[in-house]
Amino acid sequence: MVEQRIVYLLRHGMTHSNFHKQYCGWSNPPLLKSEAERLKCNVRRVFVDEVWCSDLLRAVQTAELLFPNASLRSKKSLREIHFGDFEGKTYEELKGSSAYQAWLKDFFHSTPRNGENLAAFRKRIQYGWGKITKSEQKSIAVVTHSGWIREWCGLYFSESKADYLWNIPYGGGLAARFEIKGGDWHCISLQEVRLTEKKDGF
């Protein structure tokens, strides 16, 4: 018998760092108070069997607001990429740095000082996703970060959603439906979701 799963991959809400367009990877700011209120008041409720989230505060707070009755499984493997010494800085502050320009030219191999390159990030995503796919629950939410969602798509899908994936809304993301055959997960549909838009549902 073929089993099915649905996984909602959702971006955390906005922080002060996001608002000011600062690189925010492993730094740990909370949600803006106005953002927490927006998520609390405008969210379209969806019921899931299990909720996973990054262990960073902005993801934990978002998961608690979107799924107030859930027991959270917070994991370091679901964190954003580590921007190292670029953390907390903006493009304008960094654009004159040769180290920053080298990183922009080769995300995959170039590593920010005290940070993480794309190859290491993808390996961590694969590890985290591997843990999630061991779940026996039918519906799963994963509250994580925009970079994590983009790279997850790059690893597991050839279909491009490039425009959307560079502008994933806060509190929104993707809904992926899977069929499980012989222990392998096969995606049968992938669509955008926007939990905080009243006109849109799942």
On whether residue 23 sits in a domain, the answer given is: yes
172: β partners: 194
On whether residue 199 sits in a domain, the answer given is: no
pTM reported for the whole predicted model = 0.92
- Per-residue pLDDT band at 197 (split at 50, 70, 90): low
On whether residue 167 sits in a domain, the answer given is: yes
Q: Residue 92's Cα: distance from chain center in Å?
A: 25
Domain containing 172: what range?
Answer: 3-194
On whether residue 107 sits in a domain, the answer given is: yes
Domain count, the chain: 1
On whether residue 201 sits in a domain, the answer given is: no
Are 177 and 188 within 8 A, CB to CB?
yes
Model pLDDT, residue 199: 38
Tens-digit pLDDT profile for residues 144-181 = 999 999 999 989 876 555 556 778 999 999 999 999 99
| 171 vs 29: CA distance, rounded Å | 16
Are 132 and 124 within 8 A, CB to CB?
no
Output the domain CATH number for residue 103. 3.40.50.1240
Ranked by mean pLDDT, the top range of 10-24, 149-163, 180-194 is 10-24
On whether residue 137 sits in a domain, the answer given is: yes
On whether residue 66 sits in a domain, the answer given is: yes
On whether residue 202 sits in a domain, the answer given is: no
* Average pLDDT in the chain: 91
Q: What is the DSSP letter of 81?
A: P
How far is CA 52 from each of CA 2, 61, 185, rounded to the nearest angstrom? 24, 12, 18
Q: Is the per-residue pLDDT at 69 higher than 70?
A: yes
Helix (H, G, I), strand (E, B) or coil at 59: helix
| 173 vs 176: CA distance, rounded Å | 10
Model pLDDT, residue 200: 35
